[in-house]
């Protein structure tokens, strides 16, 4: 049976609070869209903030197998903090790579990231409490790790500001052979769950 694992890296800073309900609804609809296409889906949520300003900069769920489980986790997630205009988004991608992906050969994998902010450089918060010691030195090293740990068919979909650092990150992903799509942050709120599923599965 076809299967799909999605890690959803979500900006959970205060500036995103107005989108919280929409995100919950979209994740629930994604479960329904996947199942209607005979793709049993599991979703892991990696909610990120800022290691400098927030006492809980990263919150991670297990892989969740129902929209009810995902809604419960997201409902308990507080959208707050952040502190400045850049967040620890790249660290959330690193953490997503280390999670318990479905090992079955036919299982598909994808990471979706949603943020309205530019990312902090990897290592910029090194030394802060809880910051992972094993974080790669730069984005090329991060996506080289992706290449080693994820299947060639795995897809990265970024919903983020265009014309700045995220363009550089998307280019770095492509240099390492990562199947990456960069779309404007606001497009997440215009795309249906079924079309988002198509974006994820389109070239897997």
Helix, strand, or coil (residue 6): strand
Q: Specify the CATH number for the domain of residue 160.
A: 3.40.50.410
Write down the mean pLDDT value for the chain.
90
- Taking only Cα atoms into account, the Rg of the chain, rounded to an integer number of angstroms, comes to 16
Q: In total, how many domains does the chain have?
A: 1
Contact 172, 143 (CB under 8 A): yes
Say if residue 144's pLDDT is above 60.
Answer: yes
Q: Which domain holds residue 100?
A: 3-201
- Mean pLDDT throughout 19-40? 90
The pLDDT tens digits for 46-86 are 999 999 998 899 999 999 999 999 999 999 999 988 777 89
User: CA nearest 128: which of 18, 27, 54?
Assistant: 54
pLDDT score, position 20: 92
Model confidence band, residue 106 (pLDDT cutoffs 50, 70, 90): low
Q: For residue 190, what are the CA distances in angstroms to 19, 34, 139, 185, 198?
A: 12, 18, 29, 10, 14
**Cβ–Cβ under 8 Å, residues 113 and 9:** yes
* C-alpha span between 34 and 50 (Å, rounded): 32
Q: Is the pTM of this model over 0.85?
A: yes
Report, as an integer, the average pLDDT of 166-187: 94
* Measured distance CA(85)–CA(186) in Å, rounded: 17
Backbone angles phi, psi at 28, to 5 degrees: -60, -45
Q: Grade residue 127 by pLDDT with cuts at 50, 70 and 90.
A: very high
Q: Quick one: pLDDT band at residue 155, thresholds 50, 70, 90?
A: very high
Question: Averaged over 165-193, what is the pLDDT?
Answer: 94
Q: Span 20-37, mean pLDDT?
A: 91
Q: How confident is the model at residue 2 (pLDDT cuts 50, 70, 90)?
A: confident
Q: What is the pLDDT of residue 148?
A: 82
Q: Report the pLDDT value the prediction gives residue 17, as an integer from 0 to 100.
A: 92
Closest CA to 27 of 14, 39, 10: 10
Q: How confident is the model at residue 149 (pLDDT cuts 50, 70, 90)?
A: confident
Is it the case that residue 192 has pLDDT exceeding 70? Answer: yes
Bridge partners, 48 (sequence order): 11, 58
pLDDT at 42: 92
Asked if 91 and 98 touch (Cβ cutoff 8 Å), the reply is no
Q: Is the pLDDT of residue 101 over 90?
A: no
């Amino acid at each position: 049976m076809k299967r799909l694992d999605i890690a959803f890296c979500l900006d959970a800073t205060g500036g995103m609070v107005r989108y919280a309900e929409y995100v919950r609804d979209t994740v629930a609809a994604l479960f329904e869209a996947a199942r209607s296409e005979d793709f049993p889906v599991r979703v892991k949520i990696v909610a990120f903030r800022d290691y400098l300003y927030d006492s809980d900069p990263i919150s991670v769920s297990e892989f969740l197998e129902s929209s009810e489980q995902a809604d419960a986790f997201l409902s308990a997630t507080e959208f707050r903090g952040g502190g400045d205009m850049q967040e620890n988004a790249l660290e959330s991608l690193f953490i997503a790579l280390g999670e318990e992906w479905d090992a079955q050969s036919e299982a598909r994998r994808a990471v979706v990231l949603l943020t309205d902010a530019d990312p902090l450089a990897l290592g910029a918060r090194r030394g802060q409490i809880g910051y992972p010691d094993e974080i790669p030195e730069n984005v090329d090293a991060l996506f080289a790790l992706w290449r080693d740990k994820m299947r060639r068919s795995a897809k990265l979909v970024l919903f983020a500001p265009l014309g700045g650092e995220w363009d550089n990150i998307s280019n770095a992903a492509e240099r390492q052979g990562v199947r990456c799509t960069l779309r404007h942050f606001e497009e997440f709120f215009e795309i249906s769950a079924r079309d988002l599923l198509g974006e994820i599965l389109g070239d897997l």
